[in-house]
Amino acid sequence: MSGAIIGILLAISSGLLSLVGLISIFISMNSQHNVQRSREILWSIFTLPYRKNLFLEKGTIGREVFRKFILYEQIIGEKNLFLHRIINFAKIAIVFCGLIWTTIVYYLFRQSSSAIEQGILILCITLADLFVFYFTAKILGLLTSTSKVGRLPTVNELLDADILGANTITLASVSSQLRVINSEIFIGFPVPFNNLRVNISIQENAFSSKMPNGKDFSFNLENRIKDFKKLSDEDFKLLDDDYCYYTICNLKALENSTQQNSIFATVELISKQGYVSTEFFFEGLNNVNNTNFIIYPFAFDERFINRKSELDPFSRYIKRDREFNFTNETEWFNVGKSFFEFFDKE
C-alpha cells in the first residue's frame, strides 16, 4: 500500500466524518424541536392542579389531563422513519471509517520494525475503534428517543405515583371523580395512574368532626395505612365514559351517612410522593338504589414530601440538623418518621 493510497483513504474517511457531522446537526435540530415542545407540555401538566378557578368547570381538569398526556405520549414516542434512516446511514459511515483506520494501521504495523511504534499504533487504533463503537451504539442510538435526548420522563414514569420528582398524586387527585351506580361508589381517573393507595370516608355533612384529614392525621397515619386500598392499573373498569374506574365503597353499608340526602366524601390518596386529600359533595340523593351520577371534587389539600429546593424550610432543616442521618431528604415526614417505612412494611 503506497502513501498515495493511504492519503486517498484518509481523505475518504474525512469526507465521511464531515458528512456525519452535518447529519448530526440536522438530527439535533429536529430533536430539539420535539424536546422543547415536550418540556412545555410537561410544565403545563405540572401546573394544572394550581390553576385559578380549578373546579368551577366540572370535569374540565380531567379532560385537560387526558389531552396533555396523550399529546406528550405522541411527541415522546414519535417514530420518524426518515430520521431513523439518516441515523442508520451515519452509523454505517462511522463504522466504514473505523474499518479504513484499522486497515491503514494494520499496514503500518506490518511495515514497522520498532516495538514502540507498534505499541503506539495498537493503542491509537484501539482507542479509535472504541470511540467508533461507543458513538455508533450509544450516542446515535439515543438520538432516536426524545425522552433520552431531553432527559424527560417517559409516560410510564409520569403515571407512577411512587417516582419522586413529579406531582402525579396531585394530578390524580384533582382530576378524579366519583361515580355512584346502584349504591356502588367508583373513583375514576382520566388516565391509568400507578401505585396509588386510596381511602374514602363519608360524613353526614361538611362539618363532621370525623373528617380523616384533620389535625391528628399525621399521628394516626401509621395506624391508618392499612385502611388504604392499593389501586392496580390492571383492575380498572370502563363504564359509559373513558375514565378508569375502581370500586372503593358501597353506600348500603353507610346508610346512616346518607340520611340528609347528601354525600360529603373525603378521598385520600397516598403514595411515596406524599399525601393528598380531595373533598366531594353531592346534594339531592333520594335513596342508595337505582342511582347513576357523577360527583366532582371541589377542594384538595396536599402534603408533599418530595420537595428538593433551597427555598423549602423542610429541606433546609434536615440539611442543617445533621443528627438526622437519612439516605434521602424526601424520607422525612411531619411526625419525625420515615414516610417510606409505611410502604416497606407491606
Beta strand 229-231 with 244-250 is unpaired
CB 245 within 8 A of CB 238: yes
For residue 338, give the DSSP letter: B
- Distance between CA atoms of residues 79 and 84, nearest Å: 8
Dig out the grid coordinates for 54 from the structure.
380549578
Beta bridge partners of 300: 278
Nearest to 50 by CA among 310, 334, 314, 302: 302
Dig out the grid coordinates for 15 from the structure.
469526507
Dig out the grid coordinates for 18 from the structure.
464531515
> Considering Cα of 47, then 48, then 49, then 52, what sign does the dihedral take?
positive
pLDDT, position 290: 63
pLDDT, position 342: 60
Where do runs of H (alpha helix) occur along the chain? Answer: 3-47, 60-76, 81-111, 115-134, 140-142, 146-149, 155-159, 168-174, 217-224, 313-320, 341-344
CB 252 within 8 A of CB 185: no
For the CA atoms of 126, 129, 131, 136, the dihedral, rounded to the nearest 10 degrees, stands at -160
- pLDDT digit string (tens) for 187-222? 999 999 998 999 888 875 544 444 444 444 444 566
pLDDT, position 319: 62
Instruction: State which H helix or E strand residue 199 sits in.
Output: strand 196-203
Centroid of chain to Cα 342:
22
- H helices then E strands: how many in the chain? 11, 9
- Distance between CA atoms of residues 38 and 36, nearest Å: 5
pTM of the model: 0.72
CB 194 within 8 A of CB 267: no
Nearest to 195 by CA among 221, 172, 225: 172
- Distance between CA atoms of residues 73 and 45, nearest Å: 12
pLDDT, position 205: 52
Instruction: Please work out, in degrees rounded to the nearest 5, the angle formed at the alpha carbon of residue 77 by the alpha carbons of 74 and 78.
Output: 75
Low-confidence ranges of the chain (pLDDT < 50): 206-219, 257-258, 326, 329-336
Dig out the grid coordinates for 175 from the structure.
382530576
